[in-house]
């Protein structure tokens, strides 16, 4: 009898532990204020400042990551970056981050655009979707939890799905890297 009660108790605890990941359909607050203090050069007059601490609200949220994967095709990121391997734009699935790998840096790169071809998407893509793209772009080189990163490709692709990518070493903040 006692054993049965214990079993039921364990099941109740297990069920209580089941929780579905929250899907956030609402808009997220603007991250633009933090982006303003972002530096694209490591040469700074005076004392070096702290890198802005911006938390991507969609980092490691499986739904947001898969939405980012959808938007990556919708907004034609594939047109230049292909499926991450790069084309007329740089590859995104390697550990080289020309303009920084932090979420804030990737956000700024998408919103502001970059010389030599990266369009400025600010105002054309809602911020919520930019953050989803940021999370997905980082997952391409393993910078997302394997439990949250997309586990399958909708179409035939010459690369493994994002949750099978090993994490790449993070480059130090603001260190410009030459394209390989």
Partner 1 sequence: MSRARSIAAVVALASSSRALAVPLQDALDPAGPQAQHLVALWDLMLAMSTVVFVLLVGAAWIAVLRRTRREIETPDLAHSEQEHRRLTRIVSAAVIVSALGLAALVIATIATDRALAGLPLQDALHIELTGHQWWWEASYDNADPSKVFTTANEIHIPVGRPVIFSLKADDVIHSLWVPNLHGKKDLIPGRVATHTIRADRPGIYRGQCAEFCGYQHAWMGLLVVADPPDQYAKWEAHQRETVSTPSDPTAAAGQHVFESGTCAMCHAVQGTTANGRHGPDLTHVASRMTLAAVTLDNTPANLAAWIEDPARIKPGTNMPGNNLPPADMGALLAYLATLK
Shortest Å distance, C-beta 134 to partner 1: 15
The DSSP symbol for 11 reads: H
Residue 39 or 128 with smaller CB distance to partner 1: 128
Q: Which of residues 45 and 123 has its CB atom nearest to partner 1 in the complex?
A: 123
Nearest residue (CB) to partner 1, 50 versus 155: 155
Considering the complex, what minimum distance in angstroms separates the CB of residue 101 from partner 1?
25
Contact footprint for partner 1 (CB under 8 A): 22-23, 25-27, 70, 74-75, 123-126, 128-129, 154
Q: Smallest distance, Å, CB 67 to partner 1?
A: 9
């Amino acid at each position: 009898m006692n054993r049965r009660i214990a079993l039921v108790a364990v099941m109740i605890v297990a069920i209580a532990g089941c929780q579905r990941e929250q899907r956030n359909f609402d808009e997220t607050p603007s991250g633009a204020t933090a982006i303003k203090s972002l530096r694209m050069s490591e040469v700074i007059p005076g004392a070096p400042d702290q890198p802005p601490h911006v938390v991507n609200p969609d980092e490691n949220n499986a739904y947001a990551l898969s939405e980012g994967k959808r938007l990556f095709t919708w907004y034609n990121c594939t047109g230049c970056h292909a499926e991450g391997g790069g084309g007329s734009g740089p590859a995104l699935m390697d550990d080289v981050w020309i303009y920084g790998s932090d979420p804030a840096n990737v956000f700024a790169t998408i919103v502001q655009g970059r010389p030599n071809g990266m369009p400025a998407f600010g105002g054309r893509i809602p911020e919520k979707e930019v953050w989803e793209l940021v999370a997905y772009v980082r997952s391409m080189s393993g910078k997302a939890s394997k439990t949250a990163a997309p586990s399958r490709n909708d179409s035939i692709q010459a690369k493994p799905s994002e949750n099978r990518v090993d994490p790449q070493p993070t480059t130090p903040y603001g260190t410009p890297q030459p394209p390989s």
